[in-house]
């Protein structure tokens, strides 16, 4: 995102009210977690873990240990508070780092590796699946969250959001990319319009509320300008053309 403001500060402010920092409802996220069937003692990694809500939900559902990686210092603080409040510090370790630089103690050692809405860490969906699949043992799970085009995006939408048409694929292609890498596709869950509206709307009101409460912050002008540009692009085009899903694969 090209703007005269720290990117992590922008996302930290606009995602103040988000529990999971992606356009998926908690109900659908929990439903997916129920389908993981992780064994006792499983080791789980979440790259770009945000506030660590997904890791906490997994650890509350299964007897597993987890590690979460996130580059944002602002979000990392929220993740630590979340893990501590859930009394999961003995089972979830958090590292404030670039997930793309993380390497497990040994390859093929994890029971599940996930990267939900942060494929930029590995420069795209395919590379994310490749990187995660190297970390999990045979029979282990790879879980990613990725946007997809519902219809071809309008050129004006791409211009306003500073994206390229080839940044994302249609929904079936996101599945096929994993299959072509030799992964077994198990399940996907797709965000609804309501999921998207909540995800986007929480950002708008959080930014407006912050601006009112911090009128002397020199970043307020660019915060509101960027948020309102993204808001208008979403309402005019993005709601119709951009989808989002979580894709679950198994490594043979």
Q: Which long-range contacts (CB under 8 A, 24 or more apart) does 166-175 make?
A: 168/125, 168/242, 169/125, 171/243, 171/245, 173/148, 174/125, 174/146, 174/148, 174/245, 174/247, 175/247
**Which residue numbers in the chain have pLDDT < 70?**
1-3
**pLDDT tens digit sequence for 28-44:** 999 999 999 999 999 99
- Burial class of residue 112 (count of CB atoms within 10 Å of its CB; 0-12, 13-18, 19+): buried
- pLDDT score of 1: 52
CB atoms within 10 A of CB 162: 11
Q: What is the pTM of this model?
A: 0.96
- φ, ψ of residue 176 to 5 degrees: the values are -65, -35
- pLDDT score of 5: 86
Task: Name residues whose C-beta falls within 8 Å of residue 71's C-beta, 6 or more positions apart in sequence.
Answer: 8, 48, 96, 97, 98, 99
- pLDDT score of 197: 98
């Amino acid at each position: 995102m090209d703007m005269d403001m720290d990117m992590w500060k922008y996302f930290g402010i606009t995602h103040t009210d988000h529990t999971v920092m992606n356009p998926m409802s908690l109900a659908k996220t929990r439903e997916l977690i129920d389908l993981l069937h992780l064994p006792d003692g499983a080791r789980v990694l979440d790259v770009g873990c945000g506030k660590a809500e997904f890791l906490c939900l997994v650890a509350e559902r299964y007897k597993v240990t987890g590690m979460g990686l996130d580059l944002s210092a602002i979000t990392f603080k929220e993740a630590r508070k979340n893990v501590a409040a859930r009394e999961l510090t003995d089972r979830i370790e958090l590292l404030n780092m670039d997930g793309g630089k993380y390497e497990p103690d040994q390859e093929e050692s994890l029971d599940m590796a996930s990267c939900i809405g942060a494929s930029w860490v590995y420069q795209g969906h395919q590379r994310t699946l490749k990187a995660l699949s190297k970390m999990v043992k045979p029979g282990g799970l790879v879980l990613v969250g990725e946007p997809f085009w519902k219809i071809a995006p309008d050129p004006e939408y791409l211009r306003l959001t500073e994206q390229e048409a080839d940044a994302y694929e249609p929904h079936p292609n996101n599945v096929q990319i994993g299959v072509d890498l030799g992964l077994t596709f198990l399940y996907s869950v797709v965000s609804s319009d309501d999921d998207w509206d909540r995800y986007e709307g929480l950002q708008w009101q959080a930014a407006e509320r912050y601006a009112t409460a911090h009128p002397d912050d020199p970043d307020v002008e660019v915060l509101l300008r960027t948020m309102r540009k993204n808001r208008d692009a979403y309402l005019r085009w993005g709601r119709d053309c951009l989808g989002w899903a979580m894709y679950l694969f198994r490594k043979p």
